[in-house]
């Protein structure tokens, strides 16, 4: 049997197969890796200012194709407002790196060491080929989020976006070529086998995706002794304390749980609310969520887009059926809507418990279970009783109490009196805890240090070292 040379593309709004995605053969991925390894040598020798000038040109090339990028993202994801946020946010992030990277990687003068006649010079050496394997929920942003600082650091890039959402690839290739980056940034397309070929051809991997695939990627990288940055799934909790501003909490969580149809790693997927305000909070949440509408008719109207990946539909259906069979009640939504594509109406669930899949496992959909707790201690304990540790949110009227609670949560990014700030603020360092990931911070200027190895030049000023063997007679 001959291997398939393409994969069908599914439009999430219609459910129709309306295109084909070529599969880059493994041998071609390997050859591209070799080409990149060659090209990277000249790239790293350029000054960081020259490399950042190319990044600014990339931002310009994306900006001049803004509408075209939004259209291909719409075709792959079925949502419009988030596509605008994605394109504009990506352009802004590239411009920020172009401005900041030179100072972050600037070499300092040689330093005196504790041993008086020795000084040291710290230098950085880029990893030649950084492989990027990215998911389908923010296709463009998550393909570039690590690639851009890696390019600034002097690496070349071999990227494989998700097979579900690769329609932007030809357009990005065009923009890269226009920015003078075509030789140091190659994109390949395909599914898991292509991802494995990327790992084989790279010197470091940045993977964003599920825990299950992340484990396979981490193991493959470990076999090759190459570093892996793994940014994986979550089941982010929000804690609503009895002194919280209830209306703000409800509005923030309606956004933080349902933006992008809940298909964001940092989506709030569980709420623990203190009993005294549970009724008022739930009523406010239902009020806010009831105002959200599906974008079935017109992608630019309505806040909730379709379920992007066909593979998600049965997972969400199964979680909802399991929860309802075990006594959960949907105060809004609760049933998937099929119009060719499939929409998950924003669903607030009550009468749930921690043993239900919808509370325990990642949903990655617009489903939000609300759980009443007796006090702060129970809220913290139940929020932490998960294998994930991506991010969380605390709503509390007392700033000191909020901070004290936030410091007890086992997650890398905690929003206080807001939700999902880790998606909007990319300048504060954070790492993933537990199964949500591994590796250095993707956020903040320190993120760029993941792409260089530290090399120390240790310099003797001409003094005979006292530890040498006695001079030969
Ligand atoms: P997957 O893990 O299914 O896929 C991620 C990428 O890995 C895709 O490009 C996929 O290709 C590729 N892949 C699949 N199998 C292999 C393999 N064996 N070896 C190498 N690569 C492989 O994730 P999803 O695309 O479904 O994305 C959703 C997940 O991503 C959620 O769990 C979400 O929480 C997480 N995520 C995490 C973020 C974070 O920052 N922590 C941000 C965004 C999402 P293909 O799609 O073609 O099969």
What is the distance between the alpha carbons of residues 161 and 169, in angstroms, rounded to a whole number? 8
Separation of CA 379 and ligand 1 centre (Å): 30
Nearest partner of 70 among 140, 151, 148, judged by Cα: 140
| pLDDT-based confidence at residue 473 (cuts at 50, 70, 90) | confident
For a mutational test of ligand 1's pocket, the pick from 195, 312, 441, i.e. the residue with the most ligand atoms closer than 8 A to its C-beta, is: 195
What is the distance between the alpha carbons of residues 258 and 286, in angstroms, rounded to a whole number? 13
Chain region(s) in the chain for CATH 3.40.309.10? 236-424
Please give the number of the atom of ligand 1 that sits closest to the Cα of 312: 26
Separation of CA 211 and ligand 1 centre (Å): 8
* 3 vs 406, residue with greater confidence: 406
Output the pLDDT for position 314.
97
Average pLDDT, the chain: 97
234 DSSP assignment: -
Burial class, 254, CB count within 10 angstroms (exposed 0-12 / middle 13-18 / buried 19+): buried
Separation of CA 208 and ligand 1 centre (Å): 6
Please give the number of the atom of ligand 1 that sits closest to the Cα of 160: 9
Separation of CA 189 and ligand 1 centre (Å): 14
Q: Dig out the tokens for 441 from the structure.
A: 């911070």
* Domain 6-232+436-458 grouped into CATH 3.40.605.10: yes
List % helix, strand, coil for the chain (3-state, nearest 5). 45, 20, 35
Please give the number of the atom of ligand 1 that sits closest to the Cα of 231: 41
Question: CA dist 11 to 76, 251, 341, Å?
Answer: 6, 31, 8
Output the pLDDT for position 313.
97
Residues near ligand 1 (Cβ within 6 A): 133-137, 142, 160, 162-164, 191-192, 195-196, 208-210, 213, 216-217, 231-234, 265, 309, 362, 364, 390, 437
Report which protein residue has its CA nearest ligand 1's atom 48: 191
For a mutational test of ligand 1's pocket, the pick from 162, 315, 435, i.e. the residue with the most ligand atoms closer than 8 A to its C-beta, is: 162
How confident is the model over 229-269, as pLDDT tens digits? 999 999 999 999 999 999 999 999 999 999 999 999 999 99
Separation of CA 233 and ligand 1 centre (Å): 9
Rounded mean pLDDT of 32-45? Answer: 98
Report which protein residue has its CA nearest ligand 1's atom 40: 231
How confident is the model over 426-472, as pLDDT tens digits? 999 999 999 999 999 999 998 999 999 999 999 999 999 999 999 99
Separation of CA 210 and ligand 1 centre (Å): 5
Please give the number of the atom of ligand 1 that sits closest to the Cα of 442: 40
Residues assigned a catalytic role:
231
What is the distance between the alpha carbons of residues 221 and 196, in angstroms, rounded to a whole number? 10
- Cβ(248)–Cβ(373) below 8 Å: no
pTM of the model: 0.97
Output the pLDDT for position 333.
98
In the chain, pLDDT over 70 holds for what percent of residues?
100
Separation of CA 146 and ligand 1 centre (Å): 15
Q: Dig out the tokens for 444 from the structure.
A: 């903040």
pLDDT of 393 strictly over 90:
yes
How confident is the model over 127-163, as pLDDT tens digits? 999 999 999 999 999 999 999 999 999 999 999 999 9
What is the distance between the alpha carbons of residues 367 and 425, in angstroms, rounded to a whole number? 24
The DSSP annotation for 151-176 comes to HHHT-EEEEE--GGG-TTHHHHHHHH
How confident is the model over 331-375, as pLDDT tens digits? 999 999 999 999 999 999 999 998 999 999 999 999 999 999 999
- Torsion (CA) 390, 393, 399, 404 in degrees, nearest 10: -50
How confident is the model over 180-236, as pLDDT tens digits? 999 999 999 999 999 999 999 999 999 999 999 999 999 999 999 999 999 999 999
Please give the number of the atom of ligand 1 that sits closest to the Cα of 233: 34
Report which protein residue has its CA nearest ligand 1's atom 12: 192
Separation of CA 161 and ligand 1 centre (Å): 9
For a mutational test of ligand 1's pocket, the pick from 86, 206, 210, i.e. the residue with the most ligand atoms closer than 8 A to its C-beta, is: 210
CA 51 to chain centre: 24
3-state secondary structure of 80: coil
CA angle 285–291–292, rounded 5-degree value: 95
What is the distance between the alpha carbons of residues 102 and 51, in angstroms, rounded to a whole number? 9
Question: CA dist 4 to 163, 191, 201, Å?
Answer: 14, 11, 21
* Domain 236-424 grouped into CATH 3.40.309.10: yes
Report which protein residue has its CA nearest ligand 1's atom 18: 192
Please give the number of the atom of ligand 1 that sits closest to the Cα of 198: 20
Q: Dig out the tokens for 108 from the structure.
A: 């300092």
Output the pLDDT for position 2.
61
pLDDT of 4 strictly over 90:
no
Chain region(s) in the chain for CATH 3.40.605.10? 6-232+436-458
For a mutational test of ligand 1's pocket, the pick from 135, 387, 412, i.e. the residue with the most ligand atoms closer than 8 A to its C-beta, is: 135
């Amino acid at each position: 049997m001959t291997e398939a040379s393409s994969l069908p593309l599914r439009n999430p709004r219609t459910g129709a197969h309306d295109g084909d995605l070529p599969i880059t053969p493994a041998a071609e991925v390997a050859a591209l890796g070799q080409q990149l390894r060659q090209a990277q040598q000249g790239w790293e020798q350029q000054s960081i200012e020259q490399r950042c000038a190319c990044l600014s040109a990339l931002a310009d090339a994306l900006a001049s194709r803004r509408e075209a990028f939004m259209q291909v993202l719409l075709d792959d994801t079925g949502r419009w407002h988030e596509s605008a946020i994605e394109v504009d946010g990506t352009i802004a992030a590239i411009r920020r790196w172009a401005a900041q990277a030179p100072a972050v990687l600037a070499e300092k003068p040689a330093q005196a060491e504790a041993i008086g006649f020795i000084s040291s010079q710290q230098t950085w050496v880029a990893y030649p080929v950084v492989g990027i394997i990215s998911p389908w929920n923010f296709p463009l942003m998550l393909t570039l989020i690590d690639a851009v600082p890696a390019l600034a650091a002097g690496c070349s890039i071999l990227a494989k976006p998700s097979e579900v959402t690769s329609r932007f690839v030809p357009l990005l290739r065009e923009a890269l070529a226009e920015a003078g980056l075509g030789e140091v940034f190659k994109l390949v397309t395909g599914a898991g086998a292509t991802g494995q070929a990327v790992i084989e051809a790279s010197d470091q991997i940045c993977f964003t995706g599920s825990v299950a695939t992340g484990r396979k990627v981490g193991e493959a990288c470990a076999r090759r002794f190459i570093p892996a940055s793994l940014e994986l799934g979550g089941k982010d909790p929000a804690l609503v304390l009895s002194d919280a501003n209830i209306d703000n909490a409800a509005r923030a969580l309606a956004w933080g749980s349902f933006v992008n149809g809940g298909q964001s790693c940092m989506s709030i997927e569980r709420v623990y609310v203190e009993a005294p305000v549970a009724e008022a909070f739930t009523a406010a949440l239902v009020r806010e969520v009831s105002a959200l509408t599906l974008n079935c008719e017109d992608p630019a109207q309505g806040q909730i887009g379709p379920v992007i990946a066909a593979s998600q539909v049965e997972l969400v259906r199964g979680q909802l059926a399991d929860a309802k069979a075990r006594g959960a009640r949907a105060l809004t939504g609760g049933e998937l809507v099929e119009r060719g594509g499939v929409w998950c109406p924003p669903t607030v669930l009550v009468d749930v418990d921690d043993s239900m899949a919808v509370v325990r496992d990642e949903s990655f959909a617009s489903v939000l279970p609300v759980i009443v707790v007796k006090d702060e201690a129970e809220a913290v304990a139940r929020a932490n009783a998960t294998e994930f540790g991506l991010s969380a949110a605390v709503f509390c009227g007392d700033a000191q109490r909020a901070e004290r609670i936030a410091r007890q949560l086992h997650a890398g990014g905690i929003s206080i009196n807001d939700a999902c700030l880790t998606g909007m603020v990319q300048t504060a360092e954070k790492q993933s805890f537990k199964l949500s990931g591994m590796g250095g911070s993707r956020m903040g200027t320190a993120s760029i240090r993941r792409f260089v190895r530290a090399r120390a030049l240790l310099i003797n000023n001409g003094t005979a070292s006292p530890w040498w063997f006695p001079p030969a007679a």
